[in-house]
Amino acid sequence: MYEAKSSKLMVLGIAGSPRRGGNTDLLLNQLMDGALSQGAEAKQVILSELSISPCRHCDGCLKTGKCVIDDDMQWLHMNLRQADRIALASPVFFMGVTAQTKAMIDRCQAIWVIKYVLKLPVAMDPGKLRQGMFVSVGGTRSRNLFQPAIATVKSWFKTLDIGYSGELAFSGIDERDAILHHPTALKEAFAAGQRLATADLAG
């Protein structure tokens, strides 16, 4: 069957917090609204509602680039390889990303194999510019609060052949809707979504 290719940019939003309607969810929703306002196609996944087991390091993907675990990661892999833009949202949990987010990231070992072992293109359309950003909050105001999570996300984006276009991160945000009381955060998230959805985004 012939399927017309959409000329719209596909922005994939990934909600990595287990707390539904919490701070990173609110930021991600704003970001996706900003992307939509630029005419992008927006898709959102909520990791806590998906079945994604941790990587077993069974090396089952080593020859094929396909993960042997049959769960929601199978279709998410395709979305990750198709997206033009990715916005990953996760709060800081013990200085890293949430377990839901890390499980999803680790399961991209199969994509790592596609890129570094099989030496095949990761992106479904390798000619397209792919960019991503990280959205985060943390309850404390610790020094370098976001650095370990940013390092993880950068390493993941690199495997996915996605350029890192920065983070939107707010410290001192702990209660479920604390971000609503921040003077600029939601507006910043909307603007970030608008920027992310523009084709000529700088890397």
CB of residue 147 vs ligand FMN: minimum separation in angstroms?
Answer: 12
State the residue for tokens 């833009």.
Answer: 85
Contacts of 167 (CB under 8 A, 6+ apart): 133, 134, 135, 136, 146, 150, 153
Nearer to ligand FMN, 104 or 113 (CB): 104
Give the footprint of ligand FMN on this chain (CB under 6 A).
17, 19, 22-25, 91-95, 137-140, 142, 145, 173-174, 176
Q: CA–CA distance from 170 to each of 130, 146, 181 (Å)?
A: 25, 9, 12
Nearer to ligand FMN, 41 or 188 (CB): 188
CB of residue 87 vs ligand FMN: minimum separation in angstroms?
Answer: 14
Nearer to ligand FMN, 93 or 156 (CB): 93
Q: CA–CA distance from 67 to each of 12, 47, 62, 77, 87 (Å)?
A: 21, 18, 9, 9, 23
**162/157 Cα distance (integer angstroms):** 5
CB of residue 23 vs ligand FMN: minimum separation in angstroms?
Answer: 4
CB of residue 11 vs ligand FMN: minimum separation in angstroms?
Answer: 19
Nearer to ligand FMN, 92 or 113 (CB): 92
